[in-house]
């Protein structure tokens, strides 16, 4: 079992001061790899692993 921390989409919104729509777009575009829905339902919230945030920040800093 992994000890990796998982964040909600709302926490990502707050961290980067962006809208929910922007976070969803980042997930859809693969900028936050490993993001997953908490449940199989259409409106289920997403959770994002720390590794996805690390990847995202590395990509942002290399641009």
Select from 15, 11, 51, 45 the least CA-distant residue to 31: 51
Q: Helices 20-28 and 9-16, interaxial angle, to 10°?
A: 110
Q: Reduced to 3 DSSP states, what percent helix, strand and coil does the chain have, rounded to the nearest 5?
A: 50, 15, 40
Tell me what pLDDT residue 60 has.
Answer: 87
Q: What pTM does this model have?
A: 0.84
Question: 13-37 pLDDT, tens per residue?
Answer: 999 999 999 999 999 999 999 999 9
For the chain, domains (ranges, CATH) are: 6-62 (1.10.10)
Q: What is the mean pLDDT of the chain?
A: 92
């Amino acid at each position: 079992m992994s000890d990796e921390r998982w964040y909600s989409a709302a926490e990502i919104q707050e961290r980067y001061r962006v809208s929910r729509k922007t976070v969803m777009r980042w997930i859809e575009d693969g900028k936050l790899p490993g993001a997953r829905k908490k449940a199989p339902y259409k409106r289920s919230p997403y959770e994002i692993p720390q590794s996805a945030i690390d990847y995202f920040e590395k990509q942002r800093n290399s641009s």
